Amino acid sequence: MNTARTWSIALSGLVGERVEVEADLSQQTPGFQIIGLPDKALGEAVQRVHNACANSGLPMPRRRITVNLSPASLPKNGSGFDLAIAVAALATDGLLSRDSIARTVHLGELGLDGRLRPVPGILPAVFAAARAGAERVIVPAANEAEARLVASIDVRAAVCLAEVAQWHGAEIEVPDVEPVGAEGRMPHEQETRELADVVGQPDAVDALVLAAAGNHHLLLSGPPGAGKTMLARRLPGILPPLDDEAALEVASVRSLSGESVVALDRVPPLEAPHHSASAAAIVGEGRAASAPARSCVPIAECSSSTRRVSSPARCWTLCVSRSRTV
């Protein structure tokens, strides 16, 4: 049989779906085709995979290779499927163990030299793989710390395609190459500010405490400079720490936005969209891209005094007076 299968993850926002990467080798005119609703970046994986395999000492079979991404009705986007496509294609000729790759989820982009490049959204992708029952996942070395935040799955970090092939039974020498570093933003560090530092505004302070204790919504309304942002930035300091599920969700949003995630932050996040931000900018644009809007995290603060809050739950409306702010 000239068919090999492995797994990868397709992200839609924070939700990941396990995708079967199936490669078939047929006696036809040599070629390489990817089907299964790939986007433009994924369609260009053909050339990346071909060059990465050749430069890693793992030449592709000189026959027709067809790679199917199943389910075919699910849109797939991004370069994170490169590694899975390369592994499945190489296994069709018996170079890699079919049983080994069938038990493994592969995530990562391939450079033309065969090195693995980091991709955004590794944390929600690994979490989705663990939830789907996968035994292990292979990620780029630059994403190792982020992937290991999910403790319920065996995480392996690879520097290059040759190293992955060796793990799956290929008799090949792994070159000594430098790993590709993460190019995302530095890890998020949120400063926790003390509510006790606020001088004046006793009604506002009491409202923050009541909202935090009773899990109420809170709308701060007042002229510019009255202290709305100052008060909102101190709300995370009086909220309880995030549990594992909420902390993982917040870290997943940061991972998708390109930040480097090395640990779960237990402090509730604060996002401050500009008062002129549109609804699409706040909740997301609804495009095929996987990254959601940053302001979808638990706490959001807006400086506009006229913006409506569409909340089904209880909402405290507090008018902050400029004259009472010191």
Task: Band the pLDDT of 184: cuts 50, 70, 90.
Answer: low
Structure tokens at 299: 């706490």
Q: Are residues 8 and 129 in the same domain?
A: yes
Residues 162 and 303 grouped into a single domain: no
163 and 17 within one domain: yes
Distance CA 137, CA 119 (A): 14
pLDDT above 90 (res 88):
yes
Mean pLDDT of 81-101: 96
Average pLDDT over residues 117-141: 95
Q: What is the pLDDT of residues 118-127, one digit of tens each?
A: 999 999 999 9
Q: How far is Cα 251 from Cα 276, in angstroms, rounded to an integer?
A: 26
38-78 pLDDT, tens digit per residue, is 999 999 999 999 999 999 999 998 999 999 999 999 999 99
Residue 174 lies in a domain: no
Which is more confidently placed, 313 or 121? Answer: 121
Whether residue 105 has pLDDT greater than 60: yes
Would residue 182 count as lying in a domain?
Answer: no
The CATH number of the domain where 148 resides is what? 3.30.230.10
Q: Are residues 201 and 158 in the same domain?
A: no
Same domain, 213 and 299: yes
All residues at 6 or more sequence positions from 255 whose CB lies less than 8 Å from its CB, including other chains: 120, 121, 122, 123, 124, 146, 261
pLDDT for position 215: 87
- Residue 22 falls within a domain, yes or no? yes
In-domain check, residue 186: no
45 close to 81: Cβ distance less than 8 angstroms: yes
Phi then psi for 73, rounded to 5 degrees?
-80, -10
pLDDT, position 192: 75
* Residues 263, 141 share a domain: no
Q: Is residue 173 part of a domain?
A: no
Nearest partner of 204 among 177, 233, 184, judged by Cα? 233
Of 150, 167, 184, the position where a domain reaches its end is 167
Quick one: average pLDDT of 298-323?
42
Residues 65 and 138 in one domain: yes
Residue 13 and residue 109 in one domain: yes
Give the structural domain span for 251: 195-324
The CB-based long-range contact list for 211-217 (8 Å cut-off, 24+ gap) reads 211/235, 211/316, 212/238, 212/239, 214/314, 216/313, 216/314, 216/315, 216/316, 217/309, 217/311, 217/313, 217/314, 217/315, 217/316
Q: Are residues 90 and 201 in the same domain?
A: no
pLDDT of 318 over the 70 cut: no
Query: What is the reported pLDDT for 196?
Result: 84
What distance, in Å, lies between the first and last C-alpha atoms of the chain?
77
Confidence of residue 275 (pLDDT cuts 50, 70, 90): confident
What pLDDT is recorded for position 325? 34
Between 163 and 2, the higher pLDDT residue: 163
pLDDT of 83 over the 70 cut: yes
DSSP β-bridge partners for residue 225: none
- Of 121, 148, 167, the residue that ends a domain is 167
Asked whether the predicted pLDDT for residue 245 surpasses 60, the reply is yes
Determine what percent of the chain is predicted with pLDDT higher than 70: 84
**Tens digit of pLDDT for each residue in 189-210?**
667 788 888 888 888 899 999 9
Mean pLDDT of the chain, nearest integer: 85
Give me the pLDDT at residue 308, please: 37
Domain count, the chain: 2
Is residue 147 domain-resident?
A: yes
Q: Are 7 and 62 in contact (CB under 8 A)?
A: no
pLDDT at 118: 94
134 or 275, which is more confident: 134
- Check whether residue 226 and residue 152 sit in a common domain: no
Average pLDDT rounded to a whole number, residues 245-261: 88
> CA 320 to CA 227: how far, in whole Å?
7
Query: What is the rounded distance in angstroms from the CA atom of residue 83 to the CA atom of residue 86?
Result: 5
Domain annotation covers residue 123: yes
In terms of domains, do 89 and 163 share one?
yes
Q: Which of 285, 265, 262, 281 is nearest to 273 (CA)?
A: 281
For residues 148 and 203, membership in a common domain is answered with no
Domain end marker among 130, 148, 167: 167
**Is residue 184 a part of any domain in this protein?**
no
